[in-house]
Structure 1
């Protein structure tokens, strides 16, 4: 009986990862919206700023200069991607721990950004990593979670 319960309880770690990512993402974006103005910059460290922006496109502001159709397109792509990832997780074998963990990080991030698109029509970004005048694309916790999941997938496949 204990062994059967233990095997089932391992699945909770993936749900906890997804919920943890969603909590961090939602809390951080809520804090940004409540405590900073759009385009406001707050210096945190020499290479890190808080920079509140709204991304109406996808990664690296892809499609953000469009007239609004991209919001619906990106919503559909996000929902489709989330459903595909859920299917991958469900179909994965229990022993594929790293793979399921990676997809859990990706799923948590994808859901976080989908909530933004549905709520605001854009994604709230605020993490600005820079070296002097060179700035990496501004991102958020959900984006970082997706990136982390992709790195894990790459790592286990190569």
Structure 2
């Protein structure tokens, strides 16, 4: 019987941690910050707010009739299942790649939970700059969004080392 090489599935505990942290922070936001207000000023350029995103990144398609909820939920399921499959095929020794996939999975499922149970995603981290002509704000986001972005960043960084992996050296 052929032995299987250890794969990246043990990294799914990181996905679970992302999901828990995402849901706990959203719970705290919903229960302690009034919806639609300026929220809690933490720094001169950062507030904790309570807003809903009915679309995708940067509220893409948020103004549509509701079909986008199911489209983005389906997309999150496909992405999460796809990355679990890829994680299973990735050697455990490729730690940074496995971490990136695990972050994608956790982020996708964190926002999926909101979409399925609430119909929107809760966002609460708001960075902005005050100018003479007003306030320039980056769209509010959450822990799941951070996980997806960090996962994407890691994959880009790891891809720069892909030549080494092709040459027979494993990623450490």
Q: TM-score scaled to structure 1, two decimals?
A: 0.89
Query: Aligned partners of 2:9 and 2:74: how far apart in 1?
Result: 28
1:20 aligned to 2:17?
Answer: yes
More helix by share: 1
CA-atom RMSD, angstroms?
1.7
TM-score, normalised by the number of residues in structure 2:
0.82
1:75 aligns with 2:73: yes
Q: Which digits, 9 at most, give the CA deviation of each residue in 1:120-141, with x for residues without a partner?
A: 0000001001121111111000
Structure 2 unaligned blocks of 5 or more: 161-172
Aligned to 2:61: 63
Residue 136 (structure 1) aligned to one of 116, 135, 138:
138
Q: Which aligned runs of 4 or more in structure 1 are off by greater than 6 angstroms?
A: none
Structure ID, larger Rg:
2
Structure 1 segments unaligned to the other structure (5+ residues)? 1-6
Q: CA deviation at 1:94?
A: 2.1
Q: Equivalences for 1:2-151 in 2 at 5 Å?
A: 12=10, 14-41=11-38, 42-132=40-130, 133-151=135-153
Number of matched residues? 151
For the 8 Å contact 2:9–2:87, the answer to whether it is kept is no
